[in-house]
Chain A
Amino acid sequence: MAAADGTGTAAAGGTGTREVTATVERMGFFTDTSVCIGCKACEVACKEWNAIPEDGMELTGMSYDNTQGLGASTWRHVAFIEQSKPVVPKEHPGQHQHQGDGAQSPQGEGPQDDADVFALAAQGSGSSELRWLMSSDVCKHCTHAACLDVCPTGSLFRTEFGTVVVQEDICNGCGYCVPACPYGVIEQRPDDGRAFKCTLCYDRLGEGQTPACAKACPTESIQYGPLDELRERAADRVEELHRAGVPDARLYGHDPDDGVGGDGAFFLLLDEPEVYGLPPDPVVTTRDLPAMWKQAGAAALTLLGGLAAAFATSGKPKTTRGSFTRRRP
């Protein structure tokens, strides 16, 4: 598989920071979006605990989402998606299977697109063809974290919990980590230039505390714990949902063989990742770095050869005015 190859290349081209070596257990988040109620307690708790400044108040018209996305001053973001698609398909889909992209929900397409919401509401919630997806997004604390790899100052580092944290006193505001992150998480504050993102509440973890968002979540949609444990729990939960007739349930970022070596913060989603604003197949950019340097080396040699040829084909300077040429012995 491509991902497996990738991990190998990345390891070959990387430094010691590449492999996650958590000195204590690697900790992470499992965000089970199937129980998220969109209360935004996590957003508020995160802002409060980490003293994150206000970053704009706007009414977007994007359902209940006025936060819009993760950034320098938004470390938890609750996405709201309204779909004309039943939560549980009408015929009990015992052996209905997820078909990859495109075909997972024949019931949701077509006639329901211009459904009369009042008529649907009158039918009662049981037969509703509308569903509301909510999901609390956060930094993925990637196993192979591009932000950390490309940071030229060493400001981004891997903690003993296997998480990825920025040191504000070392960050020099170069902004390189921002386009490097395949999830669009880390960002610079415009007034300051330095980069900020979720620390997975590094300060709380050190005291043996649960991160603020997980603590505040009333439905345990955000679960915090040792990553291995969370992965097991998540696998069980998907199975449970499949059995209960929610064939769309799938995990995202749980696979240690994916393009980023698995996420420290992974998700249970009810639709394709891009529906939630997540990349469907993220890859750590530094996986290709050895190949990039090779190309640059070839280009540098081409440059050298081309200019050598430019001089070789030009001979000595012309002598237009008499015997100007000097010959050195």
Chain B
Amino acid sequence: MTTAPLNGGKRRRKRRGEQTVVPDAEFTSYYGKPILNTPEWKPLNIGGYFFLGGLAGAGSLLAAGATATQRPVMARSMKITSTVAIAGSAAALIHDLGKPARFANMLRVLKPTSPMSVGSWLLAAYGPLAGAAAVSDLTGVLPRAGHAATAGAALLGPAVATYTAVLASDTAAPAWHDGYRELPFVFAGSATAAAAGTALLTAPLRENRPARHAALFGAGLEAAATHRLESRLGIVAETYRKGLAGRLMRSAKVLTAAGALAGAAAGGRNRGLAAMSGAALLAGSVCTRLGVFHAGRAALADPKYTVVPQRERLRAREAAQATMATPSTDHNHAPPTEPT
């Protein structure tokens, strides 16, 4: 049953020159037109929104850790980074709306079913905390409040770094929706790599050891989660391997691994190498976010990624129904074949 070719197959489509893990599936479509619609999201706006949010969120954790372990330079640079990054993240989102004044409607309601609504409120709470932490550190005013703000931003940081994965997953784009289990881990890893990269770029050698460890952790987490994502998605995994998304994801892998390993090996001894590994980590994180964005787009644009998995799901359900020999509905006429 599961090996039967998909319906008709008169409009079979073949792609050449690309490595495929799953053999080309036969499927029917309406003149090859996409089933799903694609939003007017600009790659740099939305990719940037993901990237900067991650950098800010994980950065606040590094800032708090650095404050607690008396690494003042790293603490200050991460507080500033988080503030600038979260402002940039919000700006990217607002820029994508076309008319900035429209953002006001984002805070018109709080809707738990909308990750974008939840996220906007989260940013509204986190942004001022991150900003207060930075201002207090820079000016030295209200140190106690500054510490509280640092802790508060660190508490919200992990949520800021991961909610964008839910935002992407909560769509019909197969590359995003079907990856909802792994995407938050990919984003958490990528966010950590970006924040650690910034710390390696800005902190002196004597302070940067946690950043090197964090880079290894982030790179490892991202690589493991991405691997799982791609091995679980079946035919949809192609969207992460082919075309622009594929190139971005591969670049991300190389840059992040190189950055983390170089940082671990020499980042404690050589300031120049530490900075270079930091830059590679940041670039890797940008590539990951843009790669995920473009994979979602590719999945929206090709009916294959909608039809084939849904057909498989239907077949599996019909097979299960047939096995259970439940009374058939109008769509199920397959006689029960198994005597059990």
Query: A-side interface residues toward B, CB under 8 Å?
Result: 1-2, 13-15, 17-18, 60, 62, 65, 68-71, 79, 81, 97-102, 109, 113, 146, 149-155, 170-176, 178-188, 190, 192-193, 238, 250-251, 272, 274-282, 285-286, 288-289, 291-293, 295-296, 298-304, 306-311, 313-320, 325-326, 328
Q: Is the CB of B161 within 8 A of A303?
A: yes
Contacts A150-B115, A296-B159 known; 4 new A-B pairs at CB < 8 A: A100-B334, A250-B331, A280-B307, A313-B213
Q: Is the CB of A174 within 8 A of B106?
A: yes
Q: Is the CB of B185 within 8 A of A279?
A: no
Q: Is the CB of B102 within 8 A of A173?
A: yes
Q: Which 3 A-B pairs have the closest CB atoms?
A: A277-B30, A175-B39, A300-B158
Known contacts A17-B113, A172-B102; A179/B300 CB under 8 A: yes
Residues of B with C-beta under 8 A to A292: 115, 166, 169-170, 180, 184
Complex Cα spacing A178 to B36, Å:
8
Q: Is the CB of A154 within 8 A of B102?
A: no
Interface residues of B in 103-131 (CB under 8 A from A): 103-106, 108-109, 111-117, 120
Complex Cα spacing A309 to B215, Å:
12
Residues of A with C-beta under 8 A to B93: 174
Q: Which of B6, B40, B106 contacts A153 (CB 8 A)?
A: B106
CB distance from B188 to the nearest CB of A (A): 4
Q: Is the CB of A174 within 8 A of B116?
A: yes
Q: Is the CB of A181 within 8 A of B58?
A: no
B91 within 8 A of A: no
Query: Could you jot down 25 A-B contacts, CB within 8 Å?
Result: A17-B113, A69-B34, A97-B333, A100-B318, A172-B102, A172-B105, A179-B300, A193-B99, A274-B27, A274-B311, A277-B35, A279-B310, A289-B113, A291-B181, A292-B184, A293-B166, A298-B185, A300-B188, A303-B61, A306-B214, A306-B218, A307-B65, A313-B210, A314-B210, A318-B205
Residues of B with C-beta under 8 A to A288: 169-170, 177, 180
Interface residues of B in 43-89 (CB under 8 A from A): 58, 61-62, 65, 68-71
Complex Cα spacing A100 to B213, Å:
54
Interface residues of B in 126-170 (CB under 8 A from A): 157-159, 161-163, 165-167, 169-170
Query: B-side interface residues toward A, CB under 8 Å?
Result: 4-8, 10, 27-31, 33-41, 58, 61-62, 65, 68-71, 93, 96-99, 102-106, 108-109, 111-117, 120, 157-159, 161-163, 165-167, 169-173, 176-177, 180-185, 187-188, 191-192, 196, 205-207, 209-211, 213-214, 217-218, 221, 296, 300, 303, 306-307, 310-311, 313-315, 317-318, 321, 330-334
Q: Is the CB of A151 within 8 A of B111?
A: yes
Q: Is the CB of A303 within 8 A of B317?
A: no
Residues of B with C-beta under 8 A to A286: 113, 170
CB distance from B307 to the nearest CB of A (A): 5
Residues of A with C-beta under 8 A to B162: 296, 299-300, 303
Known contacts A62-B31, A179-B173, A299-B188; A274/B206 CB under 8 A: no
Complex Cα spacing A192 to B99, Å:
9
Complex Cα spacing A183 to B41, Å:
19
Residues of A with C-beta under 8 A to B30: 69, 79, 81, 274-277
Q: Is the CB of A274 within 8 A of B36?
A: no
Complex Cα spacing A77 to B206, Å:
66
CB distance from A304 to the nearest CB of B (A): 5
Complex Cα spacing A279 to B36, Å:
9
Complex Cα spacing A60 to B99, Å:
34
Q: Is the CB of B35 within 8 A of A151?
A: no
Complex Cα spacing A286 to B58, Å:
27
Q: Is the CB of B206 within 8 A of A180?
A: no
CB distance from B317 to the nearest CB of A (A): 6
CB distance from B323 to the nearest CB of A (A): 13
Tell which of A65, A153, A182 has the most Cβ of chain B within 10 Å.
Answer: A153
Q: Is the CB of A182 within 8 A of B37?
A: no
Tell which of B28, B30, B106, B115 has the most Cβ of chain A within 10 Å.
Answer: B30
Q: Which of A173, A184, A238 contacts B36 (CB 8 A)?
A: A184
Tell which of A18, A149, A152, A272 has the most Cβ of chain B within 10 Å.
Answer: A152
Residues of B with C-beta under 8 A to A99: 333-334
Complex Cα spacing A178 to B176, Å:
14
CB distance from A263 to the nearest CB of B (A): 15
Known contacts A81-B30, A274-B30, A289-B170; A314/B58 CB under 8 A: no
Q: Which of B36, B161, B334 contacts A181 (CB 8 A)?
A: B36
CB distance from A148 to the nearest CB of B (A): 8
Complex Cα spacing A256 to B4, Å:
29
Q: Is the CB of B172 within 8 A of A295?
A: no
Q: Is the CB of B172 within 8 A of A311?
A: no
Residues of A with C-beta under 8 A to B334: 99-100
Q: Is the CB of B180 within 8 A of A295?
A: yes
Residues of A with C-beta under 8 A to B196: 310
Residues of A with C-beta under 8 A to B27: 274
Q: Is the CB of A279 within 8 A of B306?
A: yes
Complex Cα spacing A308 to B199, Å:
15
CB distance from A32 to the nearest CB of B (A): 16
Q: Is the CB of B112 within 8 A of A15?
A: yes
CB distance from B220 to the nearest CB of A (A): 9
Q: Is the CB of B109 within 8 A of A154?
A: yes
Q: Is the CB of A152 within 8 A of B188?
A: no
Complex Cα spacing A319 to B206, Å:
7
Complex Cα spacing A261 to B70, Å:
56
Q: Is the CB of A182 within 8 A of B36?
A: yes
Complex Cα spacing A299 to B188, Å:
6
CB distance from A14 to the nearest CB of B (A): 6
Residues of B with C-beta under 8 A to A186: 37
Residues of B with C-beta under 8 A to A184: 34-37
Q: Is the CB of B161 within 8 A of A152?
A: no
CB distance from A59 to the nearest CB of B (A): 13
Complex Cα spacing A171 to B103, Å:
10
Q: Is the CB of A281 within 8 A of B313?
A: yes
Tell which of B7, B103, B166, B183 has the most Cβ of chain A within 10 Å.
Answer: B7
